[in-house]
Amino acid sequence: MRPLIASIDLSAIRHNHAVAKRCAPGRQAFAVVKANAYGHGVREVVTALFDEADGFAVASLEEAAEVRALHGAARILLLEGCFEAAEYQFAAQLGLDLVVHSELQAQQLLAASLSRPLNIWLKLDSGMHRLGLSEAAVREWHGRLLGAGQVAELNLLSHFACADERGSEMTEQQLEAFLDLLDLDFAQRSLANSAAILTIPAAHMDWLRPGIMLYGATPFADLGVAELGLKPAMSLTAQLIACREVAVGEGVGYGGSWRAERPSRIGTVSCGYADGYPRHAPSGTPVLVRGQRVALVGRVSMDMLTVDLTDLPNAAVGDAVELWGAQLPVDEVAQAAGTLGYELLSKVTQRVPRRYHQG
């Protein structure tokens, strides 16, 4: 069997969920499990959080149906709402909480005949300008939806653009825009993603929406998981499958883009970009061999990558390699590759077997 697995510590996810809840005592939380729980496996994550989660948040009706099949009672929030008119009735059958982010969605909701009313979350565009109604439109639709037959709870939601930049003026403005609407009668309010849960208590409102923090990665460039008290959930582990000596001046990998400046020992690792490792990770990106940091060298191939073992003379074929995980934060690898932990975790491909354990 190809030696590459994503081992996933479900107790770490439970721990991180408890951290989110402890940040905002008395509030409830939609655990964000869209995109296959950021690559961790929605079935296993929902099951792991079965007893403690108040709800789950997803990006599509298909994802919502999967979560509903696993959890009959939890609230399930559809973050982008319905994509077409025909979906409202199915959303009602599944008993979802539905975002309404546009006038079109609001009209479609009012035109739908539903088997039961839905909890509706009017989404305010507080400044991110991706989804959401203007303040005036929220006021207008609040009046039209409150008491409508299709609506059970009428709630307010918005999303931060820069909550990961501490002290951001944009975040202040977004928070103010949200607070400005609270003269209206909303049953529940939700604003905080992981970054806001961890650092902006004024944004906690009634329902948190923790995503990345559940998986033990940081939303911040300057605050690591250990400082935040979070535990990495996924370790992507491979093996050294070949080792060789390379003379000064020799190139390694496609294009020979990395050249040995000293007599070098090169290790080949059983993980490549078809597994989700970033192809653009540059030479120097950290990789852990036998628990020691070494540098990625040369271009990442589809199924393999190469590392410089010159300073690790005892390393040998069969040694364990951690691409990221418990000992090497995914955020560090992401930073080296010019991306985010979010992208690396959610892009681990299907061919990588997930192995689950409890601590």
Q: How far is CA 215 from CA 34, 54, 78, 200, 219, in A?
A: 12, 17, 20, 20, 11
Closer to ligand PLP at the Cβ: 62 or 183? 62
Determine whether 254 is an active site residue.
yes
Residue 181: beta bridge partners? Answer: none
The verdict on 100 binding ligand PLP (CB under 6 A) reads no
Tell me whether residue 29 or residue 352 sits nearer to ligand PLP (CB atom).
29
327-348 CB burial, b ≥16 within 10 A, e <16: ebbbbbbbebbeebbbebbbbb
* 3-class SS of residue 47: helix
Distance in Å, CB of 91 to ligand PLP, minimum: 17
Residue 219 binding ligand PLP, by CB under 6 A: yes
Which residue in the set 37, 48, 212, 281 belongs to the binding site for ligand PLP (CB under 6 A)? 212
Q: Residue 106 interacts with ligand PLP (CB under 6 A)?
A: no
Q: Give 213 or 241: the residue with its C-beta nearer to ligand PLP.
A: 213
CA 236, CA 242: separation in Å to the nearest integer?
19
Q: Supply φ then ψ for residue 288, to 5 degrees.
A: -105, 120
Among the listed residues 38, 88, 123, 254, the single catalytic one is: 254
For residues 24-43, which are near ligand PLP according to CB under 6 A?
32
Angle separating helix axes 103-111 and 135-145, nearest 10 degrees: 10
Query: Which residue in the set 55, 81, 127, 210 belongs to the binding site for ligand PLP (CB under 6 A)?
Result: 210
88 is an active site residue: no
d(CA 121, CA 100) in angstroms, rounded, equals 6
Least distance in Å: CB of 314 to ligand PLP? 39
Within positions 182 to 201, which residues make up the interface with ligand PLP, using CB under 6 A? 193-195
Tell me if 267 sits within 8 A of 315, measured CB to CB.
yes
When the beta carbons of 253 and 341 are compared against ligand PLP, the nearer one is 341
- Number of residues interacting with ligand PLP: please give it, by CB under 6 A: 12
With beta carbons less than 8 A apart as the criterion, state whether 272 and 304 touch: yes
The catalytic residue positions are 34, 254
Residues interacting with ligand PLP, by CB under 6 A? 32, 79, 159, 193-195, 209-213, 219
